[in-house]
Homo-oligomer: A and B are copies of this chain.
Amino acid sequence: MTAQPTTENRTAQLMDGSAVARRIVERTAARSAALVESAGVTPCLATVLVGEDPASVTYVKMKRNRCAKAGILSRHVPLPATTTTEELVATLTELSADPTVHGILLQHPVGPHIDERAAFEAIAPEKDVDGVTMRSFAAMGFALPGFASCTPGGIMRLLDAYDVDPTGKRAVVVGRSAILGKPVGMMLLARDATVTYCHSRTRELSSLVREADILVAAVGRPEFIRGADIKPGAVVIDAGYNEGNVGDVEFAAAAERASLITPVPGGVGPMTIAVLLEQTLDAAERLSGTSA
């Protein structure tokens, strides 16, 4: 590999999401055991999957496996690909009312024939442990108590684990989805970063990326962010996960310039699931009246 024009010829420290996530899952397992012990309540996450998209099937399986490790029951609710919006809303409304269910995950995407927003809004706010409802978004926007969207929540936890204080920093978020780009920008803003949202219509993306002290790449396009554009010393959060285990950032070139960088896989991914589990415990404790 050719030398990059870095100020120092160092290599970035990896942000080990797997290790940080493991500690969160361990703490969650301990809280789960305590909840069973003190209140006789076993925390339960309902996982709702519409259709059989292979990637979605894999994601849900991973989440359920991780639940088992954290002492969380998972109740799987597979629905046929032909499910209508009305049927999905009815299922989510039932789960919202079921006292033995503490958290609800609707695996995204649900298929183009379904009104996904209507489905998300059928999830009771107190069980929205995946942070997908309008209320949860507004809570992130206003820095009010509530459940974070899991990937943005995981990113903030990872920054904290590596003592990155966003205050006064230039944060650039590339991507503006409802469950990733938009809420992570709001959470960085709440932590006093100066936040810029970039997206498909942004001109001069490179020059904006070059100003980023904290870069969050969330576009889902392999190696879309050029390593040469990373500001020396920047913190690079790659929330992309594309075919062939490739992120949204040119990893090797970026790692020569960044101070901290997330690997793909093993960076943001494990954090997302850890936050899902932790928030399920938060919900279970609150719903059973045992939270501190």
Contact = CB atoms under 8 A, between A and B. Distances in A.
Contact of A138 (B135, B195, B197): B135
Contacts of A185: 197
Interface in A7-32: none
Interface string A195-231: 1111101110000100000000000000000000000
A141 interface: yes
Contact of A134 (B139, B176, B178, B196): B139
B189 A194 contact: no
A141 B141 contact: yes
A167 interface: yes
Interface residues of A, number: 28
How many copies of the polypeptide does the oligomer hold?
A: 2
A251 interface: no
Contact of A142 (B178, B197, B198, B208): B178
Given A134-B134, A208-B194, A201 B167 contact: yes
A126 interface: no
25 contacts: A117-B144, A134-B134, A134-B139, A134-B142, A134-B144, A135-B138, A137-B138, A138-B138, A138-B141, A141-B141, A141-B182, A142-B178, A142-B182, A168-B201, A168-B202, A168-B203, A176-B189, A182-B186, A189-B199, A194-B197, A194-B199, A194-B201, A194-B208, A195-B196, A196-B197
